[in-house]
Amino acid sequence: MRLIGAEVLKLVRRRGLMAWSLILTVGTVVTAEVVLVVLHAVNPDHHGPAGGATNLEHTVFIASGLGNIAAILIGATAGTQDVGNGVFRDLVVTGRKRSTLFNVRVPGALAVFLPMLALGLGLAIACSFAFAGDLPNTSGSEVAKYVEYSVAISVVNIVIAVGLAAFASSRVVVGVLIAWNAIVAQLLVQISSLGGVRKFIDTAAAEHFLPLTNDGGSRIAMSSVTALLVLLGWALVFSRGGSWWTSRRDA
């Protein structure tokens, strides 16, 4: 626990990282809600109430998408800061196992990121009910699914970022993961000729936890167990890979 606390300390003292992460997770939700409320107040005939199920879906889409970038930033920083600042060798000479020093990075990053995500999602959900007006509200099970999805995709991305950061610089990790999430994975999911292989794409597995939209969306059909196993597989591959390389390399 003391090592996890140290990881948290290293992250939260980075003002720029914390500011951007808060903007991406909470600031975007606040901005979206303010815009919706103002539009409805100015022209209620054209713009419906700011809350309700549809608006929540859109807000969660924004919050989880941009929050995912914050997760990647935090994970990449957690994974590279000891080596990048030349402090890793000083931690190694305490006698702690390198794998232990690696393994505390993920819980440290999660301890910093998840409260921000909770705040952003909580705000979005609260606003959807508070400003619903005459619009239908989101059901409890749908709210739970939004939370499951947002937590799943961001936790997996933090683990991947920390693992990948054992091999590359934080800039490379951030660039690769944003490109993967925003472009490459989305394109691969659209290529129907790939068939069932698309189940193994992490974003496709995470989307399984979203509530079904009216048209069913473009999600890949899979069971909850499969989706969970795919996400666990991604997390396991990158965390074990990062731990292996951290233990093996010269400090």
Partner 1 sequence: MRGVETVIETHALTKKFGDRAAVNGVDLTVPAGVAFGFLGPNGAGKTTMIRTLLGLTQPTSGDVALLGLPQPAKRAEALARVGAIVEEPRFHPHLTGRENLKIVAAARDRAAEGRIAESLERVGLAHRADDRVKTYSLGMRQRLGIARCLLADPALLILDEPMNGLDPAGILDMRRLIRSFVEEGRTVFLSSHLLDEVEKTCDQVAIVDQGVVVVQGAVGEIAAQGEPTLLIEIDDTAAARKVLGGEPRVTHVEDEGASILRLTLGDGLVPAEINRVLVNAGVAVSRLEPARATLEETFLSITSRLGANE
- Contact (CB, 8 A) for 112 and 106: no
Among 2, 140, 192, 193, binds partner 1 (CB under 8 A): 2
How far is Cα 167 from Cα 249, in angstroms, rounded to an integer?
Answer: 10
Rounded to 5°, the CA angle 194-198-199 comes to 145
Based on the shown chain and the rule CB under 8 A, indicate whether residue 6 belongs to the binding site for partner 1: yes
Among 55, 80, 81, 246, binds partner 1 (CB under 8 A): 81
Residue labelled with tokens 């991305």 = 157
Based on the shown chain and the rule CB under 8 A, indicate whether residue 240 belongs to the binding site for partner 1: no
Based on the shown chain and the rule CB under 8 A, indicate whether residue 9 belongs to the binding site for partner 1: yes
Based on the shown chain and the rule CB under 8 A, indicate whether residue 111 belongs to the binding site for partner 1: no
Nearest to 207 by CA among 191, 192, 185: 185
Least distance between partner 1 and beta carbon 251 (Å): 4
Site string for partner 1, 14-43 (x = CB under 8 A): xx----------------------------
Among 85, 213, 223, 224, binds partner 1 (CB under 8 A): 85
Q: Identify which of residues 67 and 108 has a Cβ nearer to partner 1 in the complex.
A: 108
Residue type, 251: A
Least distance between partner 1 and beta carbon 17 (Å): 9
Among 19, 87, 126, 232, binds partner 1 (CB under 8 A): 87
Tokens at 163, concatenated: 């693992």
Based on the shown chain and the rule CB under 8 A, indicate whether residue 232 belongs to the binding site for partner 1: no
Is residue 83 exposed (0-12), middle (13-18) or buried (19+ Cβ within 10 Å)? middle
Residues 6+ apart with CB under 8 A from 67: 24, 25, 28, 116, 117, 120, 150, 154
Of the ranges 11-19, 127-135, 153-161, 216-224, which one interacts with partner 1 (CB under 8 A)? 11-19
Based on the shown chain and the rule CB under 8 A, indicate whether residue 93 belongs to the binding site for partner 1: yes
Based on the shown chain and the rule CB under 8 A, indicate whether residue 58 belongs to the binding site for partner 1: no
Q: Is 218 left (phi over 0), alpha (psi -120 to 50) or beta?
A: alpha
How far is Cα 71 from Cα 106, in angstroms, rounded to an integer?
Answer: 11
How far is Cα 89 from Cα 85, in angstroms, rounded to an integer?
Answer: 10
Among 37, 62, 91, 228, binds partner 1 (CB under 8 A): 91
Residues 6+ apart with CB under 8 A from 136: 52, 53
Based on the shown chain and the rule CB under 8 A, indicate whether residue 3 belongs to the binding site for partner 1: yes
Which residues of this chain interact with partner 1, rule CB under 8 A? Answer: 2-3, 5-6, 9-10, 13-15, 81, 85-87, 89-97, 101, 250-251
